[in-house]
Structure 1
């Protein structure tokens, strides 16, 4: 039987709090202990590891290099244990759940409004969602699947195509000095950019035959919710996925200043799209199989409705 070389949990909790606060005093207050108790726990931990974790400097403590590295791993392990404990409490012995990483705005504007249908069809499966905006290692995370925008290349994972992305420009009504009749007229206004699609405007103008003079310049935002808020505030024109604003323009405080002709929309498509990705070894997981089947059906219905 394997014996885990794991220090006392009390010592680990004391160390994590002290490392996070860089203070034994604040760690003691957080854990309702005395400062001397925290100091003893840290000393015991250092003795068991044979490594100095803190350097005492006057009235404060500073993590050593080993302390910084260890604190990162300890915090991650405690967070994972905390999350898994909450999941067990939440779901008990009934049913199962899927840990899903998803793009935040995609989750709020497309996935979550449809999730009630999934629960009606598969009441025994629950979906726990966390936010991720880029590729990550499944092995180093608790996630079992992810909804990803980009190319279908994710190391060690299978990728199921969901649908492509049609983008539209949006801005505050007051920003427009006159009606926009040609796409190049948008170049007269500040352009707002997505950090996850840095060449979005350049590709959009290129598909419409417009030379992209200065289209890489302008403020950048990581999330589409930020982009839409910036556009609504009159900071410029943002390029966002159509389904984020469809039918909600008045609610969001934006207008679409230029509607792309249907023929040009087809020229804008590439192999960057939304995908469901998951480790190949989990492909036969029951919760994942149920969610995958439902999600692919929803994606097909959505794509057909957009044609």
Structure 2
């Protein structure tokens, strides 16, 4: 039994009082008396041995300690509510996986293929969340992460999935009939904020002269850069794995070579310890490996 955690009722009262900045409004929301709210707050402050509110006459205001505690308590209660609603909605005997992944990989590659996993494993629900930076996997609530190789993942088990290579793509209307490599000089460049030197490095790798390799619009996500390229705003340097559909349909073209040096290794990152969902995670891992293999065969045959 945890002896160092306040009661859930006092935390709910505190969260409401902090959100409203007023004990009376918190009492009204929770169908309590203002006195009951005040007593719950007093018990919580006594438990923490810290004041959370400054009392100014009949008014109350969160102090810095209270503001910090309120933010974290709100996130914890929100997560608890989401998890509770999720568990209540699970069919009897079903299983679930919580996977974190990069946003564009999730929307453009992983999620469109998840139907095949569901057909093969209808009893497993896969929940996908976005994490753009590496994080501590243990006790994060996630069973695994799909992310690029990074020193921050030290202490985890990493299974290589694929090599992400960048390729220039643009709307075919921008080039017209000419698709010569030197056309890049005359097209606005689309950049990704996290990789501002990508175009300069790409030009040096392929012997292409770019007059202004650092000029052009910058976008936070590959998804945004791809949308900008489709809209005819310029040429984007994006992972080829994300634009398979557009290249096949012709809404984007890639007349320039794929970079060999601008690449990242993508992995399935798991905890070293045995997962509580080991068999479920193994099923997802096997399916993911099959999908990656099929994608590579298709890619290399085109």
Q: Same fold (TM over 0.5)?
A: yes
Alignment match, 1:218: 216
Distance 1:199 1:23 in 2: 51
Deviation (angstroms), 1:295: 0.7
Alignment match, 1:69: 68
Q: How does 1:30-45 map to 2 (within 5 A)?
A: 31=30, 38-45=37-44
Q: Does 1:274 align with 2:273?
A: no
Distance 2:75 2:13 in 1: 15
- The range that moved more, 23-32 or 39-48, is 23-32
Say which of 290, 294, 302 aligns to 2:295: 302
Deviation (angstroms), 1:233: 4.0
Say which of 283, 287, 293 aligns to 2:280: 287
Deviation (angstroms), 1:273: 2.4
Q: 1:217 to 1:19 in 2, by over 3 A?
A: farther
Q: Does 1:240 align with 2:226?
A: no
Q: How does 1:108-257 map to 2 (within 5 A)?
A: 108-151=107-150, 154-172=153-171, 176=174, 179-211=177-209, 214-248=212-246, 254-256=251-253
**Where does structure 2 lack aligned partners over 5 or more consecutive residues?**
none
Deviation (angstroms), 1:156: 2.0
Q: 1:250 to 1:95 in 2, by over 3 A?
A: closer
User: Which consecutive aligned stretches of 4+ in structure 1 deviate over 6 angstroms post-superposition?
Assistant: 57-60
Distance 2:13 2:115 in 1: 42
Q: 1:233 to 1:260 in 2, by over 3 A?
A: closer
Cα RMSD of the aligned pairs, angstroms, is: 3.3
Deviation (angstroms), 1:23: 5.4
Q: 1:111 to 1:26 in 2, by over 3 A?
A: farther
Deviation (angstroms), 1:61: 5.2
Contact 1:157–1:280 at 8 Å: present in 2 too?
yes
Alignment match, 1:5: 4
Q: 1:230 to 1:123 in 2, by over 3 A?
A: same
Q: TM-score, normalised by structure 1?
A: 0.81
SS at match of 2:141: coil
Distance 2:104 2:171 in 1: 20
SS at match of 1:139: coil
Distance 1:205 1:21 in 2: 56
Once the two structures are superposed, residues 46-73 of structure 1 have per-residue CA deviations (whole angstroms, 9 ceiling, x without a partner) of 2332211123569975432322332233
Distance 2:58 2:176 in 1: 64
Q: 1:216 to 1:232 in 2, by over 3 A?
A: same
Q: 1:209 to 1:76 in 2, by over 3 A?
A: same
Contact 1:147–1:277 at 8 Å: present in 2 too?
yes
SS at match of 1:272: strand
Alignment match, 1:105: 104
Deviation (angstroms), 1:280: 1.2
Deviation (angstroms), 1:148: 0.7
SS at match of 2:245: coil
SS at match of 1:248: helix
Q: 1:55 to 1:127 in 2, by over 3 A?
A: same
